[in-house]
Structure 1
Amino acid sequence: MGVVHLARSTSGLKLAVKVVHAEYAKDPEFRGRFRQEVAAARRVSGAFTASVVDADPEAERPWMATLYIPGPTLADEVKRNGPLDSSQLRRLMAGLAEALRDIHRVGVVHRDLKPSNVLLSEDGPKVIDFGISRPKDSELRTETGKLIGTPPFMAPEQFRRPREVGPAADIFALGSVLVHAATGRGPFDSDSPYVVAYQVVHDEPDLTGVPDELSGLVRRCLAKEPEERPTPDELMAGLRAVAASYDTRVFIPSQRTDETPGPSRPAGQRTAEPARRERGAAEPGAGASAADADPAAGGKPRRGRRRTVYGAVGAVGLAAALALMALQVFGGGDTAPAAGTAPEETSRDWAVAGPAEGTPRCSHGAGTLVCVQGGTAFALRPSDGRLLWQRAVTATTGGEKPLVAGGLVQPYPGQGGPLVALDPASGVTAWEEPGAAHRTVTATADALVLAGSDGTVTAVDGASGDTAWTRRLPGQGLTDVASFPGDDLVYVTSPTADGKSTDVTALDPADGDVRRDGRLDGQLTPVGARGGELFLLSAEGVYGDTTAVVAHDPDTGVSRRVPLGVPLEQAQGSAHGHVVHLVGTGGALVAVDMDRRARLWTLQTGLARASAPVSDGRHVFLSAPDGRLLAFDARSGRPVGQTAPRLGEGDRVVASLPAPVVADGHVHASAPDGTVFTVDAGDPAAW
């Protein structure tokens, strides 16, 4: 229904540009489906699909530009080279299960998963062509009597109840795709689409040729009733159970050592001192030189043909000289100071295991590194990771890091949760107050400031727990509150009813007096402040894609807007000085200079998701879903270092990633395996 052109952006990035034929552009129904395709593709992260760079479904000839993915389709690969072997099938199945999990999480049903819609890239399969997909909240519905899909890969309900098709239909299609990849044919095979449709609804699938260890999972995918099919997570768990040796992790380059210097390491600079291997660390890699393994050194990882197509295999290599410290294991107890040797004067790299399940979320303040993990709060000495105390807390963390105000530590309260303040030296409760109805909480040096859903803002003294002041902002509804180190104001934001503007109010945290208020265009989220200017991300549209960064002066009311060029989905950001760093779903990392009103650089990190970026001025740091800490040169965006993955047992995947904490020349980060670790911020190449 169109032509796909290979193109290049101004910077040289390869793109695939789909342009609709003129005859179809005149069809209102087709235009509606194309709009839906663009919207669906934008919802899904670029880890498992071709990321949308730009599109215009309203043009005379609608078009959409996505990142170009080199590699054949699964259909072409099977046609040219025959069925895949067992290990390749396991990796394909795991990759497609991850892709469907990502697609379904954002409320999209693909409805046409088939071999020609699966691209085989170096880092795993990518699902493309959302032309007949449907978001769950879409108003576009299949017309009565019209079947849409490809019969050999359609689920029974797509023939029987096309208006009720849900995520389970994609699981059925995954089973059919696996049979095709294993045998070169489908589980229901006929030259007649009518016969295939009958077989799909009434007959049992033909799994002859499917490896025995996978046939059970494939048969479950091909169950006639949607509720009997596994979810993507259940599929991945089943794969781990039946084939413990399968590995779908992407290739991550080996770290440089003194014998393999990279361009970012000054001559003669020492590496990190040898240390004991941490729990769960990968064995040293073998058989690849630095040029082979490290893109920064000008090389590409060497892989076999099949391995290149279906995803890299093997654990991450890490030179012994760069192995991290052995993990300290926390003891139990409610409040228990840790025994140990005398404190060291200088900080060093370290890693410790948290006392509970989940990813720790940490803040640096009051001379300690304070973390919350599950229902446990604990404090570490920043210099060496020594446990100072740990205790159970009743506050709901809400997935946020602890706050520090008035010299005390306050675990972040969930909406309506109690306020609790802990002594940073001992963990003993200093005060506790019942929770108030609030949406968000921020901390200044002296107070906690809470924003309610009715426009009420309340300040609580951080040292005593007493209410300092309460202010009702007229006309405001869903209020959020933010404050930033080095800035003397608290900022309250509230979207207008039409979602096109945001009311921004600057308050004095001492008494709640309004310094300045105004209404700015866009859905705005504060991410930093510098010298009396507030920096905000500006989003537009129903999905809230970030399109610009705004600098707003509360004293004068003057605002400056810097467009991003390419919108970022679910963007997170932070500011260091006059530079704002943003990262979006799909891994695009952007630096914007607000003084020069220009983007400094843009980098595609390749991450499906990432934490909010933080910077110390020299480097930009962010955490990856597999527990890696990544560093980039703040001036150029060039990658300069990364730590080893820390997924832990069961390959835990977390819903949100805590941002690293930069303090005193070190970066403190946490990972899905439950560890907190610290590395030298000044030398990422030695990580």
Structure 2
Amino acid sequence: MPPLRSTGPASGPFPEAEHPQYAGRYRLEECLGAGGMGVVHLARSASGLRLAVKVVHAEHAADAEFRARFRQEVMAARRVSGAFTAPVVDADPDAGRPWMATLFIDGPTLSERVKRNGPLGSGELRRVGAGLAEALRDIHRAGVVHRDLKPSNVLLAADGPKVIDFGISRPADSDLRTETGKLIGTPPFMAPEQFQRPRDVGPAADVFAMGAVLVHAATGRGPFDSNSPYIVAYQVVHNEPDLAGVPEDLVPLLRRCLAKDPAERPTADELMGELRADGGAGVGGGAEGGGVGAGSGADGSGGAAGRAGGAAGSGAVAFVPGQRRVEDTAGAEAAGMEGAPGDGAGVGAGGGARAVPRRTRRLRLAAAGLAVLAAVIAGGVAGVRGGGPADGPATSGGGREAAAPAFRPWAVTPGAPRGESLTPLCAADADRALYCTAPGLKAARLRPADGATAWAVDAAPAGTAHTAGAAGAAGAAPGTAPVISGGLVHVRAPDGARLEALAPDTGAVRWAEDVSAYANVLHSGDTVLLVTADGTVRALDGATGAERWTKRRLAAPGAQWITGGGGVYAAAASPDAAATLVTAVDPADGRVRWTERLTGALGPVQATSDALLLLSTDADLYTDAVVRLDLSGRTARRVPLTVPADQAQAVMAGDTVYVVGSGGSLAAVDMTGGSAQRAQRWRLETGVTHVSRPVVAGGHVHLTAADGRLLAVDAGRGVLLGMTKPRMDGGRYTFAPLLPAPAVVDGRVFATAPDGSVFAVDAGDPAAW
């Protein structure tokens, strides 16, 4: 089901009550348990789906640092695929009482299973271990280090183990603290580096913890046992693990997991191969106990609170390497990297089906980095920074054109990070260039072959007056990528009040217009359309800024406007949402071509030369149907969705419409007719939340996630083909509030991410991403 939107504070009308009645719009039912950080309740969604909702204790809600850590935890949990965790359905870390809702999962914790039935046998131990290794592989691929893997954070669900609680341990678990006074884990399951070098903890720490968890599952105790957490810490750092009672065939593997040196431990992929040698299936919880969501108990032993929510801990740690900023890299040495997109597709900012070994991926990234660094030549002046002939044909010393080398994936950071969103916004032009805006950057031209910067114009400092031709004009307006119109690059100011047209070869301002009085700024070919709130439209020449025509009230106030396929369209729903009036306008002269009244509350999302695609919304603003209006005969075909989508986005490719909701459910809908069930060709839960508009190219559906991951799905079968790593900054804003779609041009996919990077990958091999 689509995630429900939060409509109120977590604590309802009594923010200081220890047991609130509501968390957002969810009515809290029975209390499932309590931990050191919060109370877990059973709740149900509007469709009856059972949820585990953890509400933070009031004392922690008043702690600003805890709120920041809790926000990071929510984001970390959302990054990881729901196949191996309790998926996050909704959360509000900024509420009076922060809360997070996850799916309710049936099954006992591993801690409960061992307490009730004793140690696991060798076969069952291998199956649980293989499931945990697969879960860790997924977690690490998402750029997360769990840091608190323990038996009470492992749920034995019917379809295999689930790893829960993406935060560090609760204060009640240990007296061992970091320099900030916060806990860093549960001592019996912590790696030596967590005690010695907590800031350098990586994925290998989770492998160590998994080894300790499997020892506990095999023997009923951990490899380092003591009543004192300080003695446990000493043993973890200095002593060899006690593996007495562990099945002999597993002793060598678990000893490797528990190695003191992180480099000597196996990877999650290696663990999967060794533990699956017997080909066993996953372990289910059966009827042994009721599980819920992601969390752990205050005493570390599990219990109802231990299986619920996952919101009580603080944040997990991202280990995604920071992106080094590459500027002004378009010099003579770089000129050999010729080759670029060839059309005007827009681009912005998000485990493949085939796993790529970590060493192989590192080699690929290293090679890509060397290719870019070899091309770097410093340069630049105040205002406009330039680097030479970045886009022309490559030539060797003898004057002959050098053969273009094979494309290598690249990533660069063109903007100066500042503000609440670091995500650049880009557009690809037919002249083989990418034009991007970013915080602190009005615009930059990048070469698609390697990301080299041809020129970059810094944004004006705060308070600087903007005049036509000023070199330091403002950067992109929120949600507005550059647009190529009339042979110029059009960009908006951050406050949306100014439109500037820049020369594509230098970034110099050719003309500028105050657009603060207009509700919409649209582009149709070489025409700029400025739309007021009452439906009046003023058209400008995209090349010169000269006015072409003005027409009053072409559509009803509040209409939604869209361009595409050589036309301009406005859709205005009636006050009772029973009908929508669609108006087609000729961009050449403002003439109304036709009007059509369609049933329901509809919003336009895509226009082509053949059809207009609209989405129908119900009374709760969920998208419940897809409508295709044929432009030749102006006949409308409405196909209902099997499951309503929240904050849906869609794209039309032939007779198929691909619809994605904010919860990451991607569906292919056949528009040739039939019932909702027959029309739905396939449906895929991508495992990511808050995604971009889909883009279809080369038989693949591409979309980006809020953490910067780029996904590729087989358009015909609905199978996930590949996924890039998350790309986030290390600060407060680790998810992009706006997600422009990626672009696919000349066999390459271009996207942007919240760490401020623009990156390119090979569209033909998503499994290698």
Q: TM-score range by the shorter chain?
A: 0.5 to 0.7
| Structure 1 residue 595: Cα displacement | 3.1
Which letter does structure 1 place at the counterpart of 2:387? A
Q: Deviations over 1:520-558 (max 9, x none)?
A: 23332222234421011111223x111111001345332
Q: Aligned residue for 1:606?
A: 687
2:567 corresponds to 1:489: yes
Contact 2:488 2:504 in 1 (8 A): yes
2:385 match: secondary structure = coil
1:365-422: CA deviations, max 9, x gaps? 1421111102411011222322111103325512221111111110145675122101
Distance 1:113-1:458 versus aligned 2 partners, 3 A rule? closer
Q: 1:39 to 1:559 in 2, by over 3 A?
A: farther
Answering whether residue 367 of structure 2 is matched by residue 403 of structure 1, we say no
Identity %: 34
Superposed CA deviations along residues 484-530 of structure 1, whole A, max 9, x for unmatched, are 2xx12111122322344332111111111111112323332222234
Equivalents in 1 of 2:319, 2:446: separation in Å? Answer: 30
Residue equivalent to 1:380: 446
Helix, strand or coil: the match of 1:685? helix
Question: Partner of 2:598: helix, strand, or coil?
Answer: strand
Q: Classify 1:284/1:216 alpha carbon distance in 2 versus 1 (closer, same or farther; 3 Å).
A: closer
Q: Counterpart in 2 of 1:95? A: 73
2:386 is paired with a residue whose SS is: coil
Q: TM-score, normalised by structure 1?
A: 0.60
Within 5 Å, give how 1:393-432 maps onto structure 2: 393-394=473-474, 396-412=476-492, 417-432=497-512
Q: CA deviation at 1:331?
A: 6.2
Among residues 646, 649, 652, which one is paired with 1:572 in the alignment?
Answer: 649
Q: Is the 8 A contact 1:568 1:583 kept in 2?
A: yes
Which amino acid is 1:673 matched to?
D
Secondary structure of the structure 1 residue equivalent to 2:638: strand
Q: How far did 1:670 drift?
A: 0.9
Deviates more, 1:311-320 or 1:488-497: 311-320
Residue 119 of structure 1 and its aligned partner are, at CA, apart by 6.3
Task: Work out the CA distance in 2 between the residues paired with 1:248 and 1:488.
Answer: 51
Q: Which has the larger displacement, 469-478 or 507-516?
A: 469-478
Residues 702 and 713 of structure 2 are in contact (CA less than 8 Å); yes or no, is this contact kept in structure 1? Answer: yes
Q: Secondary structure at the match of 1:483?
A: strand
CA distance 1:629–1:471, shift in 2 (3 Å):
same
What is the correspondence of 1:493-508 to structure 2 with a 5 Å cutoff? 493-508=571-586
1:117/1:572 CA distance change after superposition, 3 Å: closer
Equivalents in 2 of 1:373, 1:669: separation in Å?
13
Aligned AA (1:286): T
Report the 3-state secondary structure (helix = DSSP H, G, I; strand = E; otherwise coil) of the residue aligned with 1:336.
strand
Q: Contact 1:641–1:686 at 8 Å: present in 2 too? A: yes
1:435 paired residue among 483, 506, 515: 515
Please give the root-mean-square deviation of Cα atoms over the aligned residues, in Å.
5.0
Using the alignment, how far apart are the partners of 1:214 and 1:561 within structure 2? 58
Q: Can you give the 5+ residue segments of structure 2 that lack an aligned partner in the other structure? A: 2-20, 30-39, 56-67, 79-87, 109-151, 154-169, 184-193, 207-262, 284-293, 297-305, 321-357, 395-402, 459-472
Q: Secondary structure at the match of 1:657?
A: coil
Q: How is 1:485-564 mapped onto 2 (pairs within 5 angstroms)?
A: 487-542=565-620, 544-564=621-641
Q: Specify every segment of 5 or more residues in structure 1 that has no aligned partner in the other structure, as ranges.
A: 1-8, 10-31, 41-47, 56-63, 76-89, 123-180, 183-205, 220-238, 252-281
**Counterpart Cα distance in 2 of 1:214 and 1:523:** 54
Secondary structure in structure 2 of the residue aligned to 1:322: helix
Please tell me whether the aligned partners of residues 403 and 412 of structure 1 are also in contact (alpha carbons under 8 angstroms).
Answer: no
Distance 1:207 1:299, change over 3 A: closer
Residue 323 (structure 1) aligned with residue 342 (structure 2): no
Cα gap change, 1:661 to 1:506, in 2 (>3 Å):
same
Instruction: Give the counterpart of 1:624 among 688, 695, 705.
Output: 705
Alpha-carbon distance in structure 2 between the residues aligned to 1:666 and 1:530: 23
Aligned amino acid, residue 543 of structure 2: A
Say whether the 8 Å CA contact 1:284–1:318 is kept in structure 2: no
Shift of 1:626: 2.1
Greater RCO between the two (CA within 8 Å, min separation 6)? 2
2:133 corresponds in structure 1 to: none
1:451/1:480 Cα in 2 relative to 1: closer, same or farther (>3 Å)?
A: farther
In structure 2, give the amino acid aligned to 1:509: P
Conserved 8 A contact 2:555-2:572? no
Task: State the match for 1:268 in structure 2.
Answer: none
Shift in Å, 1:622: 1.0
Task: Please say if 1:335 is aligned against 2:413.
Answer: no
Distance (Å, rounded) in 1 between the aligned partners of 2:499 and 2:280: 53
- Normalising by structure 2, report the TM-score: 0.54
Are 2:424 and 1:360 aligned?
yes
> Conserved in 1, the CA contact under 8 Å of 2:22 and 2:28?
no
Alignment CA distance shift 1:620-1:39 (3 Å): farther
Contact 1:438 1:450 in 2 (8 A): yes
Q: Classify 1:607/1:493 alpha carbon distance in 2 versus 1 (closer, same or farther; 3 Å).
A: same
